[in-house]
Structure 1
């Protein structure tokens, strides 16, 4: 996998959630009674609102890498940017939103896992991140996950990142004895790090790079990545046909160079090294 240096431009947005109609194979089109080829008036997409470089709400519309990816996919499905209804999809409510029809799809640093595939479908991955750690700038003690033993570690509700460190090796973790502190989202984790309540925050390196770029004098990324986080497009269970269309859009996005364009726009000035080759698609069940 080739790697190159990267950047971040940030912005934000408002949102309305519409209801998704479903039958047999899930239909797309925020409550518009449309079909799977973009026949409805709108499409409702869940993204993050608090993650610089990925999904950030600052003003009228969200911006970031995930938002650009979602906009491209929607375009390939037949929806213009004006037909997209954005809604905030925090880590803790992504499955619920898809199950209840609040959104048509989720593009929100949504890692593909076997556990999640029991309740939702995934297209992709469209990007593979790695997990890392961020600490206060003057903290030189923590250089990797092994240094978190006895430390207070923050992760967002609904995320599995901290479990990857503290769970036993039998359960797929590193078995490190850190004290977990759960917050509502990663913005809250960063506030806890800033005031010294926690010693470190762990999640995907893409997410941490955005926060570090916002205040480089206050935070230090450990830059000792481990594991893989396969970012998928979350879809309601039973969306096999839609999944295949989204996978076609993802492949086209990489072949046209748009994915690298979106990555450079998001991370080019942060010093974060992003992967520049399309990850292998996992296929649609």
Structure 2
């Protein structure tokens, strides 16, 4: 239970966001539970007044919540409520400084998407369907796995962005940054077959590389649906989506080359740290590369 003075301040804040911000009942309940829990922790730290709290006190409180095995996202939500609470007190002239303003939540773990192994990809891409849609979808999947494009990058491709002779794609990535991405022979073959029949459903003047039966550029949703269709048809147990093909590309490239910088460039990542999280190698492969590459790890010949 909060002290009377601390509870009064919480109630005053809740009345404000209910009347002025018109927050829902569910949101108000969440804010109340969060502030009551954090206030109780502060009282355990012998702090009985919201206005006497320092940034260091709040950091200690966050550490206590972390030791309670609360998830990073749960702690982040609670601290967000606390920042709003203190911002309210600042705007009301109750305090001069918001001690929670620079309070940062613990970093949330970024789950790694699972990749398909090489055998599963061979099974997925081994399509014996020479229909118009079969040829188009085979080209889409081959290009995904060959280039590691994002879904939006693939559907945004125009026919003039593809150079089959040089096996290069001109890709417009995040932040409208362009990059050249190579692709392999299997993707070349699949694209050549698709381009021979593309005109059957593509109206004159349509620049999109991949078009739907409605004679316009495919949407991201349409591509996702077609991948799921083929995953079921090819008896792939895992749910297959474009991000999984992108991650499979990155993982297999890194396992084959060990060159993180190259994979970063191919994926269009601005920061290497993004690539480090995005890709993963099993420890045996890492150990093998380390033993072969590090001068002090190489065994001396006897």
Higher relative contact order (CA 8 A, sep 6+): 1
TM over 0.5: no
Higher strand share: 1
Q: Which has the larger radius of gyration?
A: 2
Q: TM-score band (shorter)? A: under 0.3
- Alignment TM-score, normalising by the size of structure 1: 0.23
Structure showing the higher helix proportion among its residues: 2
Under a length normalisation based on structure 2, what TM-score does the superposition of the two structures give?
0.22
